Chains A and B, each alone.
Chain A
Amino acid sequence: MNWKIWALKKSPWVFHVNAGACNNCDIEIVDLLTPKFDVERFGIKLVGSPRHADALLVTGVGTRQAAIRLREVYRQTPKPCVVFCIGACACGMGIFQGGYHVAGPVDKIIREVDPNAIIAYVPGCPPKPEAMISGVVKALSVL
């Protein structure tokens, strides 16, 4: 296996992007980082800047305002990186489908920048922290 991918799997640093979420998924992400779940066991660390990140945890439907910023954040993330769509809205727009303010599901917005982006989906409203861990593990094992 490529040493770069191996190291990436062992230490994925995540950056949290809110693309117009209702805050429910965000609270679950914060819950994921509490001592109870202790994701530092797997080397997962929340970082403050997209330039340090290996994975973007995107929540929310991707509003027209947020889409521009989301693309910018994706461009600022050093490659190789993984995008996680957290929650029903980010995966498939959820109840906001067809809304006037919606720029599309998150994967569509990201693919406009990079058609070959690696995107993983964790559905749920909100997804449980266990579901997120399982999603991260599955996505990393595919890499």
Chain B
Amino acid sequence: MGAIFKRKGKDTKMIEVLQNLLWMLIFPGFLFTVVFGLVASWIVRKVSALLQWRVGPPFFQPFVDVLKLTGKEVLIPEQAQRTVFMMAPLIAMAGTLLLSTMLWRITIEPTKLFVGDIIVAIYLMVLPSLALILGSSASASPHAAIGTSREMKLVMSYELPLVLAFIVVIIKTGGQLNLATIAEHTPVFSISGLLAFLAALLCIQAKLGFVPFDIAEAETEVASGVLIEYSGALLAIWKLTQAMLLVALPLFLVMVFLGGFTKSLWTGLGKYVLILVLLILIKNTNPRIRTDQAMKFFWFYCGTTLAAAIILATLGNYYGIAWL
């Protein structure tokens, strides 16, 4: 009898492991996010083209780009730190994969007990940027060195307002840290929440490396800076990571500020597309700014706005005014 129970326990454990692997690698995890992200990056390119009165790339273009890069030779600079150089894209991808799996998992089954809280997400969101800094500083190229220093300054500038914006949300939801619970609120329908949402949107723009915050990758100045020495399959991994971030970060904003997918799948997707379109519009209507302008913008303007938003949210909580 005991033996049978033991065996059964092992089997259920096995099934659980397989199910987790399936979640990680296929459905809400790797494969699904990659396909979703590549389609989203096609939307970005197509809408940019339409805004510039062009036809734009065909639907399969991002897929072909990645396929081509995997088929090409991988060159590693002689003086580069090989291990770090090759590990960095994998670290970035692992972080993004964890983040997106967690977010999709909460989106699909918010009722399940799951330890996905906002702080884990904030940590995982830093990981790709850190890996980018690591990889580019290991590549022994002066252009990459400039790109690294720019990326570091950019990360330092946008992390503060991003965390402040999430603090506003935490205050608005009454000290909740669990993402599934936060997704039941819509903090954006209040003054402080709206301010926090706008600031977080700009931080996401910087995190994705979109114009006007593509300072680290500036093609005309530092010749694609941080990624300059990457080629072939390693570059393909970076491209996939960027595509996955294009899913994960707007999705995170949807969950934190706009009430997530709680109503229905289609309204949730609509919110995601809304954020994507806002990002594309900002991308196409602004020129690239300098590093000092970016720091000033994030620390001074976004910082003070968010400080005001935190005060408003606290006051609103204290006096029970929901719209404040």
A 69-111 to B, binary, CB cutoff 8 A, 1 in contact else 0? 0000000101110000000000000000000000000000000
Helix, strand, loop or mixed for chain B's interface?
Answer: loop
Query: Among the listed B61, B230, B235, which residue makes an inter-chain contact with A11, where contact means beta carbons less than 8 Å apart?
Result: B61
CB atoms of B231 and A51 under 8 A apart? yes
CA distance A52 to B227 in the complex (A): 9
Residues of A contacting B222 in the complex (Cβ-Cβ under 8 angstroms): 48
Residue B11 at the A interface, CB < 8 A?
no
CB atoms of B74 and A78 under 8 A apart? yes
Count class of interface residues, chain A:
20 to 34
Give, as a whole number of angstroms, the nearest-CB distance from A77 to chain B: 8
CA distance A51 to B57 in the complex (A): 22
CB atoms of B72 and A54 under 8 A apart? yes
Query: Among the listed A38, A49, A78, which residue makes an inter-chain contact with B49, where contact means beta carbons less than 8 Å apart?
Result: A38
Most chain A CB inside 10 Å of its own CB: which residue of B65, B71, B143: B71
Residue B277 at the A interface, CB < 8 A?
no
Residue ID in chain B nearest A43 by CB atoms: B61
Interface residues of A in 5-59 (CB under 8 A from B): 7-8, 10-11, 35, 38, 40-41, 43, 46-49, 51-52, 54
Residue ID in chain A nearest B220 by CB atoms: A48
CB atoms of B75 and A7 under 8 A apart? no
Give, as a whole number of angstroms, the nearest-CB distance from A69 to chain B: 14
A4-B53 contact, Cβ under 8 Å, with A43-B64, A48-B219, A52-B224: no
CA distance A79 to B58 in the complex (A): 25
A-B contact count (CB 8 A): 81
A3-B72 contact, Cβ under 8 Å, with A35-B54, A48-B219: no
Residues of A contacting B229 in the complex (Cβ-Cβ under 8 angstroms): 49, 51
CB atoms of B71 and A41 under 8 A apart? no
Residues of A contacting B64 in the complex (Cβ-Cβ under 8 angstroms): 7, 10-11, 43
Query: Among the listed A10, A41, A47, A48, which residue makes an inter-chain contact with B68, where contact means beta carbons less than 8 Å apart?
Result: A10
Residues of B contacting A43 in the complex (Cβ-Cβ under 8 angstroms): 57-58, 61, 64-65
A11-B68 contact, Cβ under 8 Å, with A51-B228, A51-B229: yes
Residue B223 at the A interface, CB < 8 A?
yes
Residue ID in chain A nearest B49 by CB atoms: A40
CB atoms of B72 and A40 under 8 A apart? no
CA distance A78 to B72 in the complex (A): 6
Residue B232 at the A interface, CB < 8 A?
yes
CB atoms of A79 and B223 under 8 A apart? no
CA distance A51 to B68 in the complex (A): 13
CA distance A116 to B80 in the complex (A): 28
Residues of B contacting A10 in the complex (Cβ-Cβ under 8 angstroms): 60-61, 64, 68
B 28-64 to A, binary, CB cutoff 8 A, 1 in contact else 0? 0000000000000000010001001111111011001
CB atoms of B224 and A49 under 8 A apart? yes
Give, as a whole number of angstroms, the nearest-CB distance from A2 to chain B: 9
CB atoms of A41 and B228 under 8 A apart? no
CA distance A52 to B68 in the complex (A): 11
CB atoms of B67 and A41 under 8 A apart? no
Residues of A contacting B56 in the complex (Cβ-Cβ under 8 angstroms): 38, 40-41
CB atoms of B54 and A38 under 8 A apart? yes
CA distance A52 to B45 in the complex (A): 18
Residues of A contacting B227 in the complex (Cβ-Cβ under 8 angstroms): 49, 52
A48-B223 contact, Cβ under 8 Å, with A11-B65, A35-B54: yes
Query: Among the listed A4, A48, A78, which residue makes an inter-chain contact with B224, where contact means beta carbons less than 8 Å apart?
Result: A48
Residues of A contacting B55 in the complex (Cβ-Cβ under 8 angstroms): 38, 40-41
Q: Which 3 A-B pairs have the closest CB atoms?
A: A4-B71, A7-B68, A48-B223
